[in-house]
Amino acid sequence: MKKRINIMICIVILGIGWSVYFENTTSGLKPTISGVIESEYKPHYVKTETNNYKMLWNGKYRYTFTGYAEDGKKQEIVRVIDKELRPDAYLRIYAEGRLGKYWEEVQEDEIPEKALSKIK
Per-residue pLDDT of 30-43, as tens digits, reads 444 444 444 578 89
Selected residue with higher pLDDT from 23 and 94: 94
Q: Do the Cβ atoms of 40 and 31 come closer than 8 Å?
A: no
What residue spans define the domains of the chain? 1-30, 31-119
The DSSP string of 75-120 is EEEEEEESSPPPTT-EEEEEEETTEEEEEEEE-GGGS-HHHHHHH-
Mean pLDDT over 97-115 rounds to 90
Q: What is the DSSP letter of 39?
A: H
Q: What is the DSSP letter of 47?
A: E
Residue 28 has pLDDT above 50, yes or no: no
Range 58-76 burial, b when 16+ CB lie within 10 A, else e: eeebebbbebbbeeeeebe
Question: Which SS3 state, helix, strand or coil, does residue 14 take?
Answer: helix
CATH topology of domain 31-119: OB fold (Dihydrolipoamide Acetyltransferase, E2P) (2.40.50)
**Model's pTM, two decimal places?**
0.65
